[in-house]
Structure 1
C-alpha cells in the first residue's frame, strides 16, 4: 500500500512540475502623432510614426503610460487545460480601448475611460467569460490617452469569483492548473505500470 501511495505522490509531482510554464507581459507605448481612430486600434497603432518604447513588466498595476500616448500590452502564455477567464481593465484612456484574444477583437470601448481607481466604476472595462483552450494564447490590449496620465491597472479571474492582479506570475500559475480528472487518469496509469513491474519482480 505504501508503494501505491508513493507512486500516486510521484505522479502528482510529475504532473504539477510539467505544468509550470512562463508568461510574458510586454508594454509598448508611442506618442500620438496621427489621429486616433478608436474603432480600429490596430490601424491607429501601426499608422503612428513615432518611436516605440518597449518595456517588459511583471505586474500591470497603477502603471502610468504618459500623456498623448497609444499603448499596446501583449500577454503570451500557455494553457495546460481548458478554462474560462475574465478580465477587468481599469484604464485612463481618453480615446477608449480594445481587447483582442488570439488576434480576434473580443471587446472595445470608444468612450473616454477613467476608472478613478475604483473597480466598481462604470468606466472599468469588463471582458468576461473567455473560453481558453489548452495551448498557446495571446492577449492584446490597446488603449490611447490624451491626458492626464492617470495610473492604469488590470485584474483577472478563472472562476468568476476570485480576482488576481494581472501579473506574469499569477497568469503562469493559473494557466498551469490541471483538471483533477487529468491528474487522476495519469496517476492511475502510473499505478498500473508500477503494479505490473512489482508482479514481474515477484
Structure 2
C-alpha cells in the first residue's frame, strides 16, 4: 500500500503553522475547561463538607438563597443517606472514607485469580513430576532467549575451523569420529583397490 502524501500548500496539511496553532489553541481551551470543571467540583465538595461539619457542630447551615426550604433539603439528604447506607455495606467504605462500589467484584476476582494460580501451580507440579527425566536440562536452564556463546562465535574464528556442534563434542567423540573417517577413507581409497589388483 502506498502512503498518504498531502501537499504542503493544502489547508488540511497537519504540519502547517496555522493548523499547529489551531491544535494548540484547542488543547489549551480543553485544558482550561477541564480546570474550570474540576474547580467547580472541588468547590461543591468543599461546601458539602463545610455543611456537614456545621451540621455535626449543631450550627445552622449557611445558604446562598434565603428562600430554600430547610425541610425539603433535610428530607432529600436523609433519604439519600439512608438509601446509600442501605445499598452499601460497611465493607465498601475504605478507611479514608471513600466508597468503592467495585469492592465485592475486586475481592471475587482476586480470590478467583488466586485459585486459578494455585490450580496452575498444582498442574505444573504434576506435569513436572511426570516429565522430570525428559526436560531436566530445560527446567534447570529455563528457556533461553538468546543464542549461546558457542552459537554466536562463527566457525571461521576458531583456530581449528570447527563448527559450534564440533566444539561442543568432547575429545573422545572427536577421536572416535576421526578414526571412523580414516577407516572409511582407507576402505574406499582407489589406490588400495589398484594395489590389490596388482598383487
Fold shared, TM-score > 0.5 on shorter chain: no
TM-score (norm 2): 0.24
Q: Which structure has the highest strand share of the two?
A: 1
TM-score (norm 1): 0.24
